[in-house]
Amino acid sequence: MRFTIYQESRQGGRANNEDRTCYCYSREALLMVVADGMGGHHYGEIASQIAAQTLADNFQREARPLLDDPFRFLQKGMINAHHAILDYAERHRLQDTPRTTCVACIVQNNVAYWAHAGDSRLFLMRGGKVVAQTRDHSRVRILVEEGLISPERAATHPDRNKIYSCLGSPNPPDIDFSRKTPLEHGDLLVLCTDGLWGEVPGDTMALALKGTNLVHTVPMLLTQAETKGGAHADNLSVIAVRWEDNYGEDASSAVSTQTMAFDEVATHLKEFGRNPGQKTDLSEAEIEAAIREIRNAIDKYNPKKQGQ
């Protein structure tokens, strides 16, 4: 595989960043995850961390170097994360469980597979246009599809942030899956939270990213969204990958998995509370305790840990 990838998460105007991004790759498969947590006192942050970390853990264990069934992998990972969040809430006797959206994508054998719950989005961009995207699990999206409001009205609708599917809700999540989608040379996959796509539409992103260096252009798009969001801008996070099927890209910005061992996996996920670019009012002891509890919640649904 050969691809160029860039991820970034910003706090915006919020008190803390409840978004999480993660990507992992083996010699033959790539996983990308974006999650947008919901819940007070860092609990949304914990929910999104559980979602990203559960999928990353499973990928590290199963991508050797291919996944047997990418759709099954995505379904199992999201459901396990959902139950791990519920267990965390029960252990802390939380009246309202922390929740998170989640969009995740697997690429292997030049085919993309994606799944999502909530309103974090995936866009497939080709030739400066959006050729596929996820459908938000939101009330406003239903109103638009039923013709009751216009897309323009949806952007400012008071219920635009209300979603009906997420991980951590008392009800099981609705998870939507894509079709198997073959990728072409130069295709872009962009996974992002509503802090970005709510301010910069997918079509605008597709035009801006066409033929450009992701490392330069993606931060510009985040800055544009942050500026438009103003003093109360939402957290905003993105993973963007340009898929390559040749070796024409600058080697300094492209990832090649050709020389990786068959059982090797590279993971890019910051641990809870360990991002120096984000503010936190948690003490070191509180961060360490949260890391342990997140790990315990995840391990309960990690088949490798069961029976040990």
The angle formed by the CA atoms of residues 179, 183 and 185, to the nearest 5 degrees, is 170
Predicted local distance difference test score (pLDDT) of residue 251: 45
Both tokens of 286, joined, read 């509180």
Note the pLDDT of residue 139.
Answer: 83
- Cα separation, 262 vs 156, in Å, equals 49
The amino acid at residue 138 is S
Strand runs labelled E in the chain = 2-10, 19-25, 29-38, 99-108, 111-117, 121-126, 129-133, 176-177, 181-182, 188-192, 236-244, 255-256, 266-268
Residue 53 confidence (pLDDT): 97
pLDDT band at 140 (very low <50, low <70, confident <90, very high): confident
pLDDT, one tens digit per residue, over 229-259 is 999 999 999 999 999 975 444 545 689 999 9
Which pTM was predicted? 0.93
How confident is the model over 54-93, as pLDDT tens digits?
A: 999 999 999 999 999 999 999 999 999 999 999 999 999 9
Per-residue model confidence (pLDDT) at position 308:
40
Q: Which of 54, 139, 140, 153 is nearest to 104 (CA)?
A: 54
Domains and CATH numbers, the chain: 2-299 (3.60.40.10)
